Amino acid sequence: DGGITQSPKYLFRKEGQNVTLSCEQNLNHDAMYWYRQDPGQGLRLIYYSQIVNDFQKGDIAEGYSVSREKKESFPLTVTSAQKNPTAFYLCASRTTGGEKLFFGSGTQLSVL
C-alpha cells in the first residue's frame, strides 16, 4: 500500500537530548513537510522540502533540523535547543504538480 509512514508513534526525550522522528513515503511525491500540533491548536509548519538535498524553514524552525538525502525520506531532529518539544508531530507530502496535502499518522513526543 502506498502511503506515509511515521515512526515511532510515541517518543520520550530526556533533558538535553536530541531525538529524531522518521518520515518515509512511497508515493513518489517530491515535496515533504513537517508540522507541529499543540493541544487544541491548528498545525504550524516547521520545515519543508521541495526536492532532494534542499529544504526551507517554516514558521517555527528554531530548535529543529532536517535532512533530505533521499526522495522517500525526510527525518526531523528535535534538538536540545527546542525548550518546549512536547507536541504531536505530523509529516506530510504533496502530489507532484498537485495541491493536496497527505499526512502520516503522527508521532507524539513527550519530555521525561
Question: CA nearest 46: which of 63, 69, 31?
Answer: 63
Smallest gap from residue 80 Cβ to other proteins (A): 26
Closest among 104, 77, 106 to 92, alpha carbons compared: 104
CB nearer to other proteins: pick between 11 and 45: 45
| Paired strand residues for 91 | 34
Question: Is 21 an interacting residue with respect to other proteins (CB under 8 A)?
Answer: no
Contact characters 40-79, other proteins, x per CB under 8 A? xxxxxx--x-x-----x-xx--------------------
Assess 27 for contact with other proteins (CB under 8 A): no
CA 72/CA 52 separation, integer angstroms: 9
CB of 66 to other proteins, least distance (A): 14
Least distance (Å) between residue 12 CB and other proteins: 17
| Beta-strand relationship, 10-13 and 107-111 | parallel
